[in-house]
Structure 1
Amino acid sequence: MTTLVIGVDGGGTSTRCVVATESGEVAGRGYGAGANILSAADPGESLRTALLAALEGLSPGAVAAGVFALAGSESARERAGILAAEAWRACGLAGRVEIVPDPLAAFAGATEEPSGTVLIAGTGAVAARITGRRLARRADGHGWLLGDAGSGVWIGRRAVQAVLAFLDGRAGPTALLDAVAGHVALREEPDREAAAGHGGAAAPMTTQRVVQAVHGGIAEVGPAWLGRLAPAVEAAAGEGDAAALEIVREAAGRLVSTTLSLGPGPGPLVLAGSLLTEPTLLAARVRADLGGTLLTARDSAAGAAALALHGTVPDALPAHRKLIA
């Protein structure tokens, strides 16, 4: 029977799972909703969903090990361990499972090198120094309420603040008003349809509506609700909106500052997370400010599976290279 390992990447917006063979072949993939231990609505269910989908048609008894890279796990390690173990058992798995910080999997998903630096900017944001496939030091990654400067949630919050400043008369007009208004209206859609059915008219955009929508959205789906505004900020910045350009400029500055706070070190610098791996204005600015040779992360779930291989296969480097190719 072919030995299998599992890698899971649980972020604020989505969860991805990869099942790999000992030779580095991908045997299965699965996806779920966000599994950030600190902010996701139901991280345990997201893990189970992704695992079951990835294991479809495979024998759970062939799985020797798994590595779960879960955002927020360092701040809530005990809860992360419980949720991972419950999801693991619920899928009929008996091998060992390990929880690792998400920067470690992001780095391993881009390079087989054992040491280097990684900057992640997606729903959250963190920079980390990796030494011998272990997290040696990190900067930020403190969650949406206390940190994650330059992240998607941070950008979304700044967009809402810019709109509130305009509505209050504290700042000039911004194209972000339409984006935030659309986001608010989308959440209010059922109530708006009910009002229209009774002859009601759409209410004007007010600070009260915006604030209520933000608090309601976060309560329902977590801070990732704010992060959904990040693409709108990128689009508005591309069209020259002053407020959006300032948000992108500040976000890039925060991310670069977080990375440089780690100091110089050996090995490659990996950029990970949707805000830095897509061709965004933010990514271009971060790359220009950091300079040097930068690697782009490919698949953090595959990186987590590669880490599981290193704990299972005597010489895992060839399989690692193949898995992330």
Structure 2
Amino acid sequence: MTGGPLVLGLDVGGTTSRVLLADLDGRVLATATGAGGNPVSHGGATAARHVLAALRTALAEVDPARVTAGVIGLAGGQITGPTLDQVWPAAGLLTTPHLVSDLELAYAAGTAGPAGSVLLSGTGAAAAQCRDFEPVRIADGHGWLLGDRGSGFWLGRAAVTAALAANDRGELDGLAARVVTALAGPLPAGPGTRAAVIAAVHADAPVRLARLAPLVLAAATAGDPAARRLVERAADHLLDSLTAVRPADSALPVVLAGGVLSPGSPLCTSVRARIAARWPDAPLSHTGNTAGAAAWLAARRLGRTDGALHARLTA
């Protein structure tokens, strides 16, 4: 093996798989993006094929034997992670990446401090209190059927419910009209619209309602009162989840994660205000490069814990 040791970070989601390869000085040697590799979303064989393709792209110009440590972040990984075990030797790796949850990866992507909280809202939603980066208490994250309050799915479902209620009142305008158009086309209020919206929702996977979240957020930004009400309710739900795991007097950092909580979104603005009011001394940050965070967690396993390395890999 020629050259120094390398670390490998992988963030494997349902839509996208990201890989980052770096040395222990924080120099990024390669990155790759591939199709989603979560076995729950795609099945074991397809997920393994997608992750392997992204890995081979990242490792194309280096000797895979130089990878001394790796970390893979994967939602539901404790259950589904072993289905990817065949990928590592197939890519030429001599080490098996350490498996962490998506919450641990999100937290590490936002701070180099080992203890604090993470609040995530994407398709799903959850909060966690972390110690040594690992979640020790988790609230929500129960999936679309049982929870995920304040998530993209929650916003989408609430928007459809509000649109159907507006249609029943014969008041199809604003957010309600936008939701109907997105699902069934520009239709007037009436029984036909009711049937068309219900049919469109039930014809797709339930979690696909999350695709309506950007529509709600855009309407809220434009001042739509119905959208603003949904955003405020979502913010309340997310704060409830964070309060369930975070001590009332904590001054530890809070990391915000997930596309629905991206900087500048009206939901992010509302959540940040609530956190600042409840924990005024807590540093607030957003996730950076999650594949880089996975590489940094791998470097920590080799004893490299400095914040400068974290900053370089998560930028």
TM-score tier, shorter chain, comes to 0.7 to 0.9
Q: Which residue of 1 aligns with 2:188?
A: none
Partners of 1:217 and 1:311 lie apart in 2 by 42
Partners of 1:136 and 1:18 lie apart in 2 by 27
Q: Which residue of 1 aligns with 2:133?
A: 133
Q: Which residue of 2 aligns with 1:102?
A: 102
CA 1:32/1:215 → structure 2, altered by over 3 Å: closer, same or farther? farther
One-letter amino acid matched to 1:173 = L
Is the 8 Å Cα contact of residues 176 and 236 (structure 1) preserved in structure 2? yes
CA 1:35/1:114 → structure 2, altered by over 3 Å: closer, same or farther? same
Q: Which residue of 1 aligns with 2:269?
A: 284
TM-score by length of 2: 0.84
Confirm or deny that 1:58 pairs with 2:62: yes
| TM-fit CA distance, 1:79 | 2.1
Query: Which stretch shows the higher mean deviation, 150-159 or 1-10?
Result: 1-10
SS in 2 for 1:229: helix
Structure 2 gap ranges (5+):
186-190
Could you report, residue by residue, the CA deviation over 1:194-247 in whole angstroms, capped at 9, with x for unpaired residues?
A: xxxxxxxxxx963333333333332xxx72x32221111011112332321221
Is the 8 Å Cα contact of residues 184 and 196 (structure 2) preserved in structure 1? no
Is the 8 Å Cα contact of residues 21 and 27 (structure 1) preserved in structure 2? yes
Confirm or deny that 1:240 pairs with 2:201: no
> Percent identical across equivalent pairs?
39
Q: Which residue of 1 aligns with 2:174?
A: 175
Could you report, residue by residue, the CA deviation over 1:91-112 in whole angstroms, capped at 9, with x for unpaired residues?
A: 3323121211111111111221
SS in 2 for 1:156: helix
| TM-fit CA distance, 1:151 | 1.0
**Mapping of 1:202-281 within 5 angstroms?**
206-218=193-205, 223=207, 225-264=208-247, 265=250, 267-281=252-266
Partners of 1:296 and 1:180 lie apart in 2 by 29
SS in 2 for 1:23: coil
Partners of 2:160 and 2:37 lie apart in 1 by 25
Q: Which residue of 2 aligns with 1:191?
A: none
Partners of 1:205 and 1:34 lie apart in 2 by 37
Partners of 2:40 and 2:169 lie apart in 1 by 33
| TM-fit CA distance, 1:36 | 4.6
| TM-fit CA distance, 1:89 | 3.5
TM-score by length of 1: 0.82
Is the 8 Å Cα contact of residues 103 and 120 (structure 2) preserved in structure 1? yes
Structure 1 gap ranges (5+):
187-203
Out of 15, 21, 24, the residue aligned to residue 23 of structure 2 is 21
Task: List 4+ stretches of structure 1 deviating above 6 A.
Answer: none
Partners of 1:257 and 1:274 lie apart in 2 by 19
| Paired residue total | 298
Q: Which residue of 2 aligns with 1:315?
A: 304
Tell me the C-alpha RMSD between the 2 structures: 2.5
| TM-fit CA distance, 1:180 | 3.1
